[in-house]
Structure 1
Amino acid sequence: MSMRTTNLGTTGPVVSRLGLGCMSMAGSYGSADPDEARATLAAALDGGITLFDTGDFYGDGANEELLGSALASRRDKAVLATKTGVRRTADGLVADGRPDYLRQACDASLRRLRTDHIDLYYLARIDPQVPIEDSVGALAGLVEAGKVRRIGLSEVSAATLRRAHAVHPITVLQTEYSLWERHVEDDVLPALRELSISLVAYSPLGRGLLTGAVRAGTRFASGDFRATAPRYTGANLTANLGTVEAVSAIAADLGATPAQLALAWLLARGTDIVPIPGSSRRTHLHDNLAAIDLRLTPDDLARIDAALPPAGARGDRYGTHSMTMIDQ
């Protein structure tokens, strides 16, 4: 396996075609082993991965601290991406795009990441109480101060993207994109390509479901948010397992795992798309890395499209509160 690379946006940085999503190392899917997480981060670098994705609200900063510690000796090899603009409160997550908060959050992330600059800084969610121009203006100030190299957005509509890009160049938009979640193809992806903005695809494996790791009788561990996510429970899960069967059958015919097929499909969508599968274990990481060598033919892609439901997964991606935080 030889890792391929691509540019984010029009001005770089150059990153690996596969990145590493680090949220699962903060316990979002149940407990995580910090020693195994550190070993996975080192193995990712050894395997050619250079883009590492975290957020200041992953484990209330603990995930950033883990990356800062684990990658400190190899900081020059890593492109660090983190997010802000979301706070945890007694009532759950809330968006906070106030300029003062964003500036304070950036300084805190720099300390936890043990670095003097953030390579890619995302506004994780849009605060409906703050004009996007004000939030992006604050992030632009962080670029001018040398604390941030480039700006990204997460889960925004094409209209919001255009407003933000008019204030300061947006390098990357991050959103969920996978075989069973293709909403981005309607309006957002065409806008990205018009503006030469890259797409970082999170949850490219359907939060584990597309790998076959989730079954009809699966009981999610304590703290695993999938236990309350609509598409992973009840009748929705039963319906969605049909997608898993279709993916598994095609993967078997190609001599690949379902995860490798799902990632290869995204890689085939364009060099401006960088999937960031989340792995907190080396076994999963190595399985994902092998997707780099799986080249899908036009016939393979046509077969995949024909086998999967056009509407994608059944059920919302998140619970009601979290869905209200996604810019439609």
Structure 2
Amino acid sequence: MIFKEEKMMVQEIKIGKSTVQTTKLGLGTNKVGGHNLFQNLNDQDGYDVVRKALDSGIKLLDTAYIYGEGRSEEIIGEVIQNYDRSKIVIATKAAQDPQNNNQINNEPAFLKQAVKDALKRLQTAYIDIFYIHFPDNKTPKNEAVAALNELKQAGLIRAVGVSNFTPEQIKEANIDGLVDIVEDHYNLVHRQIEKTEWPYLKQNKIAFVPYFPLASGLLTGRYTLNDYEKFADDYSKVEFETIINALAITQKIADRHSATVTQTILAWYITNPNIAVVIPGARNQQQAAGNVEALNVTLSEAEFQQIDKAFADFKNK
């Protein structure tokens, strides 16, 4: 199904000094070519997922070197040859050094080479957002970001990002005001960065993108209290019961919109003004198409607050 752009809520998002046009829903592509991360992946499914997302009006594709050690980028690079590149926002990441058993590396020379390598795999002249995927334990973060800023000034990347950085590391990276965007682990059952990161990001006009928005499937609504053992390493029984009860509340809201719990949870992120773009993944076309439907779920302020309150206990987790 092809959605009209007005229904897709295409908007301009300010990322540092750059402005990109995108929907608030993108596509996370760790299941596109990520054979080292997931079992039983099929490359053809990866091609189909990316095409389905683009054909449905999705603008932003989020990938990384470590997703298949370049394979995800290669698949995306092949697919976008048949699309208008100017209407696609590509975000990718690097930190794992293939010359050193994928050890984390933030050295300026490595990052510059990583960008050049990604450009080749993506078959593009520029990358819209380039993130340092993980911090290493030795490189000054502002020096790492300064190296990427040089490439930004040269037109090879359009926005500089950091991912998985602590609040202190984000501040160090942004000493010179060069960080445009932060990507980090955030969802309705993992909310502590609302207090530890968001105030600084807002003050410094740094955009925010969450990953794991569906908490590895927990927030899709397909689990019951009987499934606790699957999540016992991450949540107490009391916490898990709170999640199941909150999802029951979400289900009632979803029913009013003729939507799924997954789509309604994604709609909550889309509605949240602190989030630039949400990037759920998809293993196949059906999942990609289902995620896109979240853009047709318009939550009222009361519904947004009801979901927020249902998961409020996780603001410290």
User: Contact between 1:178 and 1:206, CA under 8 Å: does it hold in 2?
Assistant: yes
Alignment of 1:35-46 (within 5 A): 35-46=44-55
- Aligned to 2:210, the other structure's residue is in SS state strand
Mapping 1:188-227, distance limit 5 Å: 188-213=197-222
SS at match of 1:72: helix
SS at match of 2:111: helix
**Aligned pair 1:287/2:297, yes or no?**
no
CA drift of 1:258 comes to: 1.4
Aligned equivalent of 2:180:
171
Conservation of the 8 A alpha-carbon contact between 1:247 and 1:261: no
> Structure 2: any 5+ residue segments left out of the alignment?
none
- Counterpart of 1:84? 94
1:97-127 C-alpha deviation (Å, 9 max, x unpaired)? 0111111111111111111211111011111
> 2:210–2:275: 8 Å Cα contact kept in structure 1?
no
Normalising by structure 2, report the TM-score.
Answer: 0.85
Q: Aligned partners of 1:90 and 1:211: how far apart in 2?
A: 38
Q: 2:279 matched to which residue of 1?
A: 276
Check conservation: 1:20, 1:278, Cα contact below 8 A.
yes
How big is the shift at 1:288? 1.3
Q: Unmatched 5+ residue regions in structure 1?
A: 219-230, 315-328
CA distance in 2, matches of 1:232, 1:139: 40
Per the alignment, residue 67 of structure 2 pairs with: 58
Post-superposition CA distance 1:280-299 (Å, at most 9, x none): 21211122112112222232
Letter in 2 for 1:7: I
CA displacement, residues 174-209 of structure 1 (integer Å, 9 cap, x when unaligned): 012211111220121111111111111111111222
What corresponds to 2:19 in structure 1? 12
Letter in 2 for 1:30: Q
Is the contact made by 1:139 and 1:151 (CA closer than 8 Å) also made in structure 2? yes
Amino acid at match of 2:254: L
Spell out the pairing of 1:220-299 with structure 2 (5 A cutoff). Answer: 233-234=231-232, 236=234, 239=237, 241-242=240-241, 243-255=243-255, 256-270=259-273, 272-299=275-302
- Which range is displaced more, 196-205 or 239-248? 239-248
TM-score, structure 1 length as denominator? 0.83
Question: What SS does structure 1 have at the residue aligned with 2:187?
Answer: coil
Q: Percentage identity across aligned positions? A: 27
How far apart are the structure 2 equivalents of 1:15 and 1:260? 19
- The one-character-per-residue Cα deviations of 1:206-234 (angstroms, maximum 9, x if unpaired) are 1222113567888xxxxxxxxxxxx9544
Q: CA RMSD in A?
A: 2.6
Contact 2:182/2:207 (CA < 8 Å) preserved in 1? Answer: yes
The alignment covers a number of residue pairs equal to 301
Counterpart of 2:80, as a letter, is L
Check 1:11–1:235 CA distance in 2 against 1; reply closer, same or farther (3 A cut): closer
How big is the shift at 1:23? 0.6
Of 293, 305, 308 in structure 1, the residue corresponding to residue 308 of structure 2 is: 305
Check 1:249–1:90 CA distance in 2 against 1; reply closer, same or farther (3 A cut): farther
Residue 21 of structure 1 aligns with which residue?
28
Q: Is the 8 A contact 1:95 1:125 kept in 2?
A: yes
